[in-house]
Amino acid sequence: MNRFAACLWKEWREQRGIAGAIAVASFVLVLLFELVVPRSRVGREDDAGLAALLTFATVALAFFGDAFAGEERRSTLDFLRRTPGGWWPPFAAKYTFLLAVSLVLTGWAWCCGASATWLIHGVAPALNKKVGVERIVEGVVLVPLWSVAVSIWFPRGTLALPGAVFVLALFLAPVAAACFWARGGEVLRNSEYDALVCALGVLRIPDAAFGWMLRAAVVAAPLVALLSFAKGRAVERGPWRAGAIGLVALLVLFLPGYAWTATRVVDYRRFDPAAGELRIDGEDACVATSGRFAYVNARAAAPSSTLGRRHLHDELDGPTHPLRIDLASATWSEVGGVGARVKAAPGVSNWATVPYVVIEDLAAPARRPARGPFRARAWLSGDIALPLLDAETGATLRADVDEPFLTAGDAFGARVQRLANSVVLPDGSRAWLERGHIVRSDASGATRVLPDSAPVADLARVWMSTVRGQGMLLGATTGYDVLGERRFELPP
């Protein structure tokens, strides 16, 4: 008997008890499941595939992680090192046994599930044709294969599966970090799942290419394991030599991916309104009071979806760019960072023209204001600074909107009220909130402070826009009649 056959027989003799237990457990559990679960349950045709998937997961936990670490635990590694014939017979025997036991036990579970559903429920099993199932299978196979490689690096098999997940996550972390950085603060507007999809949209990987990447990772796992075993574990040197060799090999495999990611990120963040398709978000678009300058959020549009119909636009389009457009000269400039958005200043009731705009960048450092009830607004996500810009000049007036601005307690806030929130009276005069009082102008432009028009202490919680018909709010339950120049309490 040659050495390969001897090593294969050794694997079977050591693992046959566990393999037999899994086979018996698969049969019993499938039979109990089909007998206990009500007949009316839909989707019986998928039971066989589910049984096969769960059995493969059990095989992976039982055999893959302990493939090489078990030799260290059973003190048989030194025997394999000293046996004539080199390192390849035990290595090949282990992979052959893992492949055979996976196929046999997974096929056995599928046959048990198919027979049970047919004999008990009269339902024939069907091959699953759902979109994405092949990606799930490739992902399920990927982790056990890498756990074999990692089991060569660690002396304990219990560390193999979590170690494989950790190593893959560690090497994929730079790719994910680059994608999140490319999206800017925009990615923080989504849930955890959508944020990940939104970030990975930076790569714009076609579905076919993504499949080939997964297959390449599956093929690379045995190659890294082979190098780690041949130059590390099979050699009587330091215990961490195999891990060091495997990590270096893994880094070499990932270097082309890192370089490709860098080119994708640079291309993704490149923005030119004159080149290619452009998508403009009109939700927050606004125009300065002079009518000359428009503020919009624009992004380069993706030509097609690579992540399914659900992620056709926002997740695959380029990051948002807040733009200031001169409608007279047809020129433009960016007024914020990549992923930021430009919006009208808080509390503006007349959205046709605005005197001020703010820049919302969720990636900016957090800043907790002394008093900020307005940060609870849905589009003001968290305690972030909102730089205030003059809509006419585009100049930054202050680093963050504050209470004096939000309550018209300074010149900027009063200007917002006068230009965007004023009460227009029948005689053409106007009234607005300014520095803690209501101010009224006549036809000649002369102004005067209306009597008993000071806001109450809770005005800051009413919101900056206080106009109500031909009156104004002075508090949560207090109003002011501008025509009659009188104060009154609102009914509860």
Confidence category of residue 69, pLDDT binned at 50, 70, 90: low
> What pLDDT digit, counting tens, does each position of 161-175 carry?
777 778 878 888 888
Q: What is the pLDDT of residue 308?
A: 46
Q: With a threshold of 0.95, does the pTM exceed it?
A: no
Confidence category of residue 112, pLDDT binned at 50, 70, 90: confident
Distance of CA 404 to the CA centre of its chain: 37
Residues in the chain: 492
> What pLDDT digit, counting tens, does each position of 9-44 carry?
887 888 888 888 988 988 888 888 878 776 655 556
Q: What is the pLDDT of residue 324?
A: 94
Residue 99 in contact with residue 11, Cβ under 8 Å? no
Q: What is the pLDDT of residue 234?
A: 58
Q: How far is CA 366 from CA 191, 360, 382, 414, in A?
A: 19, 12, 8, 27
Residue 448's φ and ψ, nearest 5 degrees, are: -150, 155
Between 309-313, 324-328, 360-364, 419-423, the lowest mean confidence (pLDDT) is in 309-313
What is d(CA 392, CA 62) in angstroms, rounded to the nearest whole number? 69
Q: In b/e form, how buried is each residue of 247-286, taking b as 16+ CB within 10 angstroms?
A: bebbeeebeebeeebeebbeebbebeeeeeebeeeeebbb
What is d(CA 224, CA 216) in angstroms, rounded to the nearest whole number? 12
Which token pair is 76? 């048989």
Q: What is the pLDDT of residue 395?
A: 92
Residue 363 in contact with residue 369, Cβ under 8 Å? no
Residue 379: pLDDT over 70: no
Residue 125 in contact with residue 117, Cβ under 8 Å? yes
Closest CA to 107 of 30, 23, 47: 23
Domain ranges within the chain, ordered by starting residue? 3-269, 278-400, 411-489
What is d(CA 369, CA 402) in angstroms, rounded to the nearest whole number? 8
Which token pair is 105? 């036990």
Confidence category of residue 381, pLDDT binned at 50, 70, 90: very low
Which token pair is 483? 């025509």
Which token pair is 236? 């009587």
Distance of CA 458 to the CA centre of its chain: 39
The residues with which 366 forms a beta bridge, in sequence order, are: 384
The answer for residues whose C-beta is within 8 angstroms of residue 428's C-beta and 6 or more apart is 443
Beta-strand pair 423-424/430-434: antiparallel
Confidence category of residue 372, pLDDT binned at 50, 70, 90: very low
Q: What is the mean pLDDT of residues 244-264?
A: 86
> What pLDDT digit, counting tens, does each position of 192-238 carry?
555 566 666 677 676 666 777 777 888 888 888 888 777 766 565 55
Q: What is the pLDDT of residue 368?
A: 57
Residue 74: pLDDT over 70: no
Residue 345 in contact with residue 388, Cβ under 8 Å? yes
Q: What is the pLDDT of residue 6?
A: 78
Q: How far is CA 318 from CA 89, 162, 202, 282, in A?
A: 52, 35, 8, 16
Residue 253: pLDDT over 70: yes
Query: What residue type is 469 in one-letter code?
Result: G
Between 94-103, 172-181, 227-236, 389-398, the lowest mean confidence (pLDDT) is in 227-236
Which token pair is 78? 């030194």
